[in-house]
């Protein structure tokens, strides 16, 4: 249920900017919960209580002000939303003067409340999907439990097949999610979920890989324009709804690659990267320690080794590629062989070095 007290304060501020009159809002019992005159807060307004009870507009004249508690000249009228009175709105002033505002003010108030309730319902819907997805990928709930929860929040589990993860580098508000849902063209039933402090997860219905890529690129242009930086995107494989935990894991792997390669990455397209990003961090460090760690602070040697491993053409061609003299390259290669105890003409050593460099660069 919405917070009528907070909403009333916002509504009074809005109305006071439209008309040059004091405005109050009371709860169902006639107590003032919002007012342009702060001294009236939490006081009893008997006229408002009568208006609520009889569900009718009442003009507070001089005689009523003397007879009823907490009343000033003006008009009070019930606020009715979806056929239900939820409080009372009052405008202070001579009834004949404020009468011309009455219908407009009540209409604005009811529209304000209706829109606020609608907004809160949308926000609640987004949060429910976020909680559901969190459980979907972090717990081992049975298919029956997943189905029941999906039905409760009106998610058709037969639609969704793939996960996309976008790194935003900032925390988004629900309004930002709603805006993205309005501008996206991937699918009308796409779900967008805030994940952690700086990621978005897209719960994607079954669409072709080509359409997914094209529409993500279009969406990315809009998002990057606002973010003012490139945003990595990783895409998991197509899976059954109950196996989207695996698609999410794959999307996270693809995201790590995307962050370094600055392109949209499908996990299904990864080859060596798939191995690199599945190796535990401590194993990676140990492998690098046993292979190329002595060169990591020698950028000239590292670049020469990397170019040699990648091209391995003639000495002259590699030297030209590095813009150095042939003899300088020969000196560097000999030094690398000495430091690492390897043979740069041995296929086995080259494979190991290539793997180490790729792992180090993670490209």
Domains and CATH numbers, the chain: 4-117 (3.30.450.40), 159-276 (3.30.70.270), 282-361 (1.10.10.2840)
Residue-wise pLDDT tens digits, 86-143: 899 999 888 888 887 777 888 888 888 888 878 888 888 888 999 999 988 888 888 8
Query: Whole-model pTM?
Result: 0.64
User: What's the confidence (pLDDT) of residue 313?
Assistant: 65
The C-alpha angle with vertex 85 and arms to 79 and 87, in degrees rounded to 5, equals: 55
Neighbours of 86 (CB within 10 A): 20
In the sheet that holds 160-167, the strands lie side by side as 191-195, 199-205, 160-167, 233-235, 265-266
> Which stretches of the chain score pLDDT less than 70?
1-3, 312-313, 362-363
Tokens of 163: 């996960």
Query: Of 36, 58, 113, which Cα lies nearest the Cα of 80?
Result: 113
Helix (H) or strand (E) holding 195: strand 191-195
Residue-wise pLDDT tens digits, 44-97: 999 999 999 999 999 999 899 999 999 999 999 998 887 888 899 999 888 888
- What one-character DSSP code corresponds to residue 294? G
User: What's the confidence (pLDDT) of residue 335?
Assistant: 95
């Amino acid at each position: 249920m919405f917070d009528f007290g907070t909403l009333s304060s916002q509504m009074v501020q809005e109305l006071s900017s439209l008309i040059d009159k004091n405005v109050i809002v009371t709860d169902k019992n006639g107590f003032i919960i919002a007012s342009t005159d702060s001294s009236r807060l939490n006081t009893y307004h008997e006229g408002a209580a009568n208006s609520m009870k009889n569900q009718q507009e009442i003009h507070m004249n001089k005689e009523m002000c003397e007879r009823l508690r907490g009343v000033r000249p003006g008009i009070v009228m019930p606020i009715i939303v979806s056929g239900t009175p939820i409080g009372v709105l009052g405008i202070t002033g001579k009834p004949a003067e404020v009468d011309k505002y009455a219908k407009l003010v009540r209409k604005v108030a009811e529209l304000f409340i209706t829109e606020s309730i609608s907004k809160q319902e949308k926000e609640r819907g987004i949060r429910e999907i976020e909680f559901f997805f969190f459980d979907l990928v972090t717990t081992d709930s049975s298919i029956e439990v997943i189905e029941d929860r999906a039905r409760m929040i009106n998610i058709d589990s037969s639609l969704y097949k793939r996960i996309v993860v976008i790194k935003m580098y900032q925390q988004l508000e629900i309004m930002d999610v709603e805006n993205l849902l309005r501008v996206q063209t991937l699918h009308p039933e796409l779900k967008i979920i805030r994940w952690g402090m700086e990621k978005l997860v897209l719960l994607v219905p079954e669409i072709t890989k080509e359409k997914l890529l094209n529409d993500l690129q279009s969406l990315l242009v809009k998002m990057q324009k606002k973010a003012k930086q490139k945003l990595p995107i990783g895409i998991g494989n197509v899976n059954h709804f109950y196996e989207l935990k695996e698609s999410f894991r794959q999307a996270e792997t693809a995201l790590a690659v995307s962050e370094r390669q600055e392109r949209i990455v499908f996990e299904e397209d990864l080859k060596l990267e798939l191995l690199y990003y599945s190796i535990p961090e401590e194993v990676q460090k140990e492998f690098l320690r046993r292979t190329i760690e002595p060169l990591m602070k020698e950028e000239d040697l590292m670049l020469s080794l990397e170019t040699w491993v990648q091209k391995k053409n003639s000495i002259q061609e590699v030297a030209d590629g590095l813009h150095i003299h042939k003899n300088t390259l020969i000196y560097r290669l000999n030094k690398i062989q000495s430091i690492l105890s390897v043979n740069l003409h041995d296929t086995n050593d080259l494979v190991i070095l290539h793997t180490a460099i790729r792992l180090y660069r993670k490209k």
